[in-house]
Chains A and B, each alone.
Chain A
Amino acid sequence: MVYGVLRFINFAHGDIFMLGAFSGYYLTPRILPHFTGVLAPVGVAVVLFGTMAICALLGMLIERLAYRPLRRMPKLTVLITAIGVSLFLEYGGQFIFGADPKAFPELVPERALENTGALTITTTQIAAFIVTLLLLVGLTFVVKRTRLGMAMRALSNNSTAAQLMGVNIDTVISFTFGLGSALAGAAGILYALSYPSIDPLMGILPGIKAFVAAVLGGIGNIPGAALGGLLLGIVETFVGGSAFSTYRDAIAFAILIIILLFRPAGLFGKTQVEKV
C-alpha cells in the first residue's frame, strides 16, 4: 500500500513487521495478566492495538527522519536509503534484542476446535483470520470513505495536483506510513501466533514477499495485493512440499522476475505507455 501511494519500495517494511512481533513479545507479559477470564480478548486487543500504535509511530518516525528530506530526490536515492534503514533495523534489532530466536508467548490459548483427521482448525488460526478480515475491511473503509483516504488516492494519482488542491502531502504521506506500518506490525503479531519463534532477521523474506505479492496483484490495488499474497503462498507451499523444496526461497524472486518481464503491471493491473 505504501508503494501504491508513494511509488517507492519500502525495504524496511518487513522490518517493521519484525518490530511488530517483538513489540508483541514485550507487551504480552506486561498487559495480558491484567485481563483474566472474560476480559482476555480485550487484553489481546490491547496488545494488538498497542503494537499497531508503536509500529505506526516508528513508521512515521522513519519517514520523517530518513525519507522526507529526500522527497525531491531521484527514486534510487530513496531506494538506497530504504535499504539502509532496513539494514539498520535488522542489525540494530540484533543488537538490542539479541541475535538468537525468541519464543513468542501464547497470546491466544492454542486449542484445536475441529479435528476431522486431515483438517485441523485451531483457535489461533481463527483469531488470525478474523483479525485479518477486520483489518482489511477497516483499511478499505479508510482508503475509500475518509478524507485522508481520498487525499491518499489523490496523491497516488498526481502528487503535484493534489498539493495544488490543498492536500497537505506531509501529513498524508506520514499518515500513509503510519497506517502501513500499523498493519505490518499487526501482521508481525499474527505471524508470530502461528510460528512462535521470532528473531531480528525474520522480516527480510516476508518483506520481499510482500513486495512480490503487491507486484503480482498490480501495484496500488488492495484486493489485488491480497490475492497476490494468497497465490504466492500457495505456490510456495506447493514447491516446499515437492522435490525442489530447497529452492523455495528462490521462488518468490523467480515469480517476481517473470511477472516484471511479461506483465509489468501485475496480473490485475493496467499497462501504461511511457510518454515521450
Chain B
Amino acid sequence: MALLLELKQCTVQFGGLTAVSKFDLQVDENDLCGLIGPNGAGKTTIFNIITGVYRPTSGSITFEGKPIAGLKPNAIAGRGIARTFQNIRLFPTLTVFDNVRAAFNLRLKHRLAHALLRIPAFYREENDVARQVRELLDIFDLNRFAHLRCGNLSYGDQRRMEIVRALATKPELLLLDEPAAGMNPREKEQLMELIKFVKKKYEIAVLLVEHDMKVVMGICERIAVLDYGIKIAEGSPHEVRANPKVIEAYLGQETPAPAL
C-alpha cells in the first residue's frame, strides 16, 4: 500500500510547554489507524498540526509526497484531508443541507461573478451540487432532516452530520477526533459500523483519536499510543494491549492518581 501521510519528528511547543515531542507517524492509503493516550497527551494537537490549525515548531509533514506543514487549513482541506472536531463544530444556523453544501465550496468552478450574473452554467453547477448533497444525505439517512437547522439535531445525529460534511470535501484521509465521546454503548456500536462502512465505500484512510478503548480496539488495524507528547508504543491492537508502557501510562505505576 502506498504511503499517504507521514509525520517526521514533529514537535509542538506552546510557550515553554512541549505538547508533542518528536512524533513520527505514517498512514497508508486505505489505512484505519488509531491514536490513543490519556487526557492531555497531545492527540488533538497532532490533529491540529496535520490540518494546519497550528504549525509544528519543528519537523515535517508530507501528504501524498508533498509537504503540507504551514499551509492554511482550507488549503490542506483542498489537498484531501478532512476532519471532525472533539466538541462538534457544525454551522449551527445553517440547515443540514447547507452544512453539507458548504463543503462543496472547495471544488466549485463558479464563484462570485457567476452567482451574481446567474448564467446557465451557474444553474447547472448548483443543481449538480444539490444532487450530490442529496445523495450523501441519503446514504447516511439524514435526508429527512435536510431543512432543519443543525442546532436542532440530536447529539448523535450531529456527530454523524459532521462526518458527512467532512466526506463532502471528497477527502483521501479522514481525521475523526473522539467520535464516540458522549455516546451510549448502542450508539458506539453503530458508530463503529459507520466508520467501517465509510472507509470501505469511499476507499479512504481514517485516522482516529479516541478515548474509548472498545471502539479503538474494535476497529483499528494499527494503534499509536501517546503519553505526555511522546509516542510510547505503536502496533496492532493486540501488541499495544500487551505493552507494559501503555499499561503504565493508563494505570500509573506505584502512586495512582488521586481520585477526583
Residues in A lying within 8 Å of B, measured CB to CB: 270, 273, 276
**Cross-chain contact B14 with A276 (CB below 8 angstroms):** no
Q: List 7 A-B contacts (CB under 8 A).
A: A270-B15, A273-B14, A273-B54, A276-B44, A276-B48, A276-B53, A276-B85
Which A residue's beta carbon lies closest to that of B177? A276
Contact with A along B31-68 (1 / 0, CB 8 A): 00000000000001000100001100000000000000
**A264 CB to nearest chain B CB (Å):** 15
Give A11 to B85 CA distance when docked, in angstroms: 36
What residues of A have a CB within 8 angstroms of the CB of B48 in the complex?
276
What residues of A have a CB within 8 angstroms of the CB of B53 in the complex?
276
**B260 CB to nearest chain A CB (Å):** 14
**A91 CB to nearest chain B CB (Å):** 35
By Cβ-Cβ distance, the 7 closest A-B pairs, closest first, are A276-B53, A276-B48, A273-B14, A276-B85, A276-B44, A273-B54, A270-B15
**B251 CB to nearest chain A CB (Å):** 28
Count of chain B residues with a beta carbon within 8 Å of a chain A beta carbon: 7
Which B residue's beta carbon lies closest to that of A271? B15
Which A residue's beta carbon lies closest to that of B15? A270
What residues of B have a CB within 8 angstroms of the CB of A273 in the complex?
14, 54
Give A107 to B134 CA distance when docked, in angstroms: 76
Give A273 to B19 CA distance when docked, in angstroms: 13
Give A270 to B53 CA distance when docked, in angstroms: 20
What residues of A have a CB within 8 angstroms of the CB of B14 in the complex?
273
Give A273 to B57 CA distance when docked, in angstroms: 14
Give A184 to B21 CA distance when docked, in angstroms: 49
Give A270 to B85 CA distance when docked, in angstroms: 27
**A161 CB to nearest chain B CB (Å):** 14
Which A residue's beta carbon lies closest to that of B85? A276
Which B residue's beta carbon lies closest to that of A270? B15
Which A residue's beta carbon lies closest to that of B47? A276
What residues of A have a CB within 8 angstroms of the CB of B15 in the complex?
270
Contact with A along B82-100 (1 / 0, CB 8 A): 0001000000000000000
Give A231 to B48 CA distance when docked, in angstroms: 39
What residues of B have a CB within 8 angstroms of the CB of A276 in the complex?
44, 48, 53, 85
**B90 CB to nearest chain A CB (Å):** 15
**B193 CB to nearest chain A CB (Å):** 28
**B117 CB to nearest chain A CB (Å):** 34
**B105 CB to nearest chain A CB (Å):** 20
Give A276 to B88 CA distance when docked, in angstroms: 11
Give A270 to B17 CA distance when docked, in angstroms: 14
Which A residue's beta carbon lies closest to that of B45? A276
Give A273 to B17 CA distance when docked, in angstroms: 12
Give A276 to B14 CA distance when docked, in angstroms: 14
Give A15 to B48 CA distance when docked, in angstroms: 44
**A14 CB to nearest chain B CB (Å):** 34
What residues of A have a CB within 8 angstroms of the CB of B54 in the complex?
273
Give A133 to B239 CA distance when docked, in angstroms: 68
What residues of A have a CB within 8 angstroms of the CB of B44 in the complex?
276
Give A273 to B15 CA distance when docked, in angstroms: 10
**B167 CB to nearest chain A CB (Å):** 20
Give A270 to B15 CA distance when docked, in angstroms: 10
Which A residue's beta carbon lies closest to that of B44? A276
What residues of A have a CB within 8 angstroms of the CB of B85 in the complex?
276
Give A273 to B44 CA distance when docked, in angstroms: 14
What residues of B have a CB within 8 angstroms of the CB of A270 in the complex?
15
**A199 CB to nearest chain B CB (Å):** 44
Give A273 to B45 CA distance when docked, in angstroms: 12
B139-184 residues with Cβ-Cβ distance < 8 A to A are none
